[in-house]
Structure 1
Amino acid sequence: YDGKIYRFLKGGPSNSGLIETLSNIYLNRMDNFLIDQSSTKQNEFYGRYQNQIFFTWNQSLNELEQILKSMKSEYHHLSFDIHIGKNLNYLDLYLENRH
């Protein structure tokens, strides 16, 4: 950039096609773990856009806490902001569970 060479020791620019591809490859394993745990057979929803994950959970809070604990342990080098509730803002959306 601007006639200079930069070296990223950890991470990289999020708007780089290569970084997006490498992120998707890396996060695919976490996607599969969460999809398996949230179990589509129980009418749950899972979605991810870049590094933003959204999924529904209708089982016990204790089960969810165990899954999140496992995920944090497995991916301890990543930081997570976890929001649990009946409504939330996700990207440009406001989502609410009225049931």
Structure 2
Amino acid sequence: MVLFYLKFDVSPNVWWPAPAPYILVGDEQYSIVAAFGNGAIVLLLRNPDGTQIPANEDVINVAALRVILVPPGALITSEMVPNDMISLSYDEVAIRLRLHE
């Protein structure tokens, strides 16, 4: 299992899960598309409807990226996490999976 979280420079205390169909960061609305494979991670900011943001339009800056890799043999019980981990914030996932900074 691979989970991605982004932090933007305009909201330094919030980690946004990726993918995310709709986020509101400052006054800007976006969606986040995430993909990985062949040794690469691709994270794209899009308009909330999923369309590409024009190249001449300013977008917010990504300040940090966190990737949580849960190996196949890791024991995760139903008491640790709900069925839909993507709905959890980074802090909730870190607590439930007992991650340390």
Superposition TM-score, scaled by structure 1 size: 0.26
Larger radius of gyration: 1
Q: Quick check: which one's strand share is greater?
A: 2
Higher share in helix: 1
Normalised by the length of structure 2, the TM-score is: 0.25
